[in-house]
Amino acid sequence: MSTSKPRHYILTVSCPDAVGLVAAVSGLIATWNGWLTEVANHGDPVTGRFFMRNEIEASSLDFGIEEFRTRFAALAERHQMEFKVRDSSVLPRVMILVSKLDHCLVDLLHRWRTGELAFDLRGVISNHDDLRSFVEWHHVPYHLIPVPAEAREGAFARIGEVLDADPVDLVILARYMQILPPDLCRRYEGRIINIHHSFLPSFAGGRPYQQAYDRGVKLIGATSHFVTADLDQGPIIEQDVVRVDHADSVDDMIRLGRDVEKTVLARAVRYFLEDRVIIHENKTVVFS
């Protein structure tokens, strides 16, 4: 995939598979003289579902995104397509949630600040005040919302209000050490990405590095996934691993794991921001 491209539209499609879908979509775009700079698709023989992602150079079309949606709607209806079009110049709005561990946050902020990841960062929410200064150096709003054990409900209501006041396309849990309540998970279904510090489904739940140490595995990993109401069970977007051996303590695993966590999370966020991820049931199609 290419960075620093000219402005383009990203069209993603998910529908029942059928003969002629690639032709139908690309054919319609061709009638508009649309310049397809990237096309990927996948017909799933098990689910009978078809997925497609198209990048069309904006300057090749003589109309805008609303008109695009209107013109595409008839085709979409004919094939029962769920579709989405986005203008690459309209950046997805993002909120990052974090606790005290900052390696993922620092990594994301760097990629955001340098333009490597293109998003509109609306703010950072944390249950601690530790990272305020670093975040504010980036001129990014910092929302301290403590989550005391005895008042979790109120805390998450407050988080909900912050999100309502300035709606976002994506919530990133960058090692946010709190479990979101089910209703928040449902409201933001498909829009919350978490990084779990194990190679799921191994070691779901708490203290995964300790679990990995106790089991004596020879590789540890990290998993980026969409958050659902079922803890650590949501659709997986990206995973990776790193080698460990008998001499590595739990602390060593935590250290080695940090590099995997931040890389895996950054990749998943990139896929999301570029509309490369399509969820179907509990799995993802990732046109990486």
Site for a copy of itself in 24-43 (CB under 8 A): 24, 26-27, 29-30, 33-43
- Contact call for residue 2 and a copy of itself (CB under 8 A): yes
Cβ proximity to a copy of itself: between 141 and 181 the closer is 141
- The first and second tokens of residue 71, run together, are 């013109």
Question: Of the candidates 75, 85, 179, 241, which one interacts with a copy of itself according to CB under 8 A?
Answer: 241
Q: Cβ contacts of residue 159 below 8 Å, gap of 6+?
A: 97, 125, 145, 184
- The first and second tokens of residue 21, run together, are 């879908």
Q: Let me know if 232 is a catalytic residue.
A: yes
State which of positions 246-265 bind a copy of itself (CB under 8 A). Answer: 246-249, 251-252, 255, 258-259, 263
Gap between the Cα atoms of 285 and 116, Å rounded: 23
- Contact call for residue 230 and a copy of itself (CB under 8 A): no
- Contact call for residue 215 and a copy of itself (CB under 8 A): yes
- Of the candidate spans 90-98, 103-111, 144-152, 187-195, the one that interacts with a copy of itself by CB under 8 A turns out to be 103-111
Cβ proximity to a copy of itself: between 145 and 285 the closer is 285
- Contact call for residue 210 and a copy of itself (CB under 8 A): no
Cβ proximity to a copy of itself: between 199 and 272 the closer is 199
Q: How far is the CB of 167 from a copy of itself (least distance, A)?
A: 28
- Contact call for residue 202 and a copy of itself (CB under 8 A): yes
State which of positions 104-163 bind a copy of itself (CB under 8 A). Answer: 106, 110, 114, 116, 133-134, 137
Cβ proximity to a copy of itself: between 103 and 158 the closer is 103
- Of the candidate spans 2-10, 81-89, 121-129, 167-175, the one that interacts with a copy of itself by CB under 8 A turns out to be 2-10
Cβ proximity to a copy of itself: between 188 and 287 the closer is 287
State which of positions 41-80 bind a copy of itself (CB under 8 A). Answer: 41-46, 51, 60
Q: Count CB atoms within 10 A of the CB of residue 170.
A: 19
Cβ proximity to a copy of itself: between 142 and 158 the closer is 142
Catalytic residues: 232
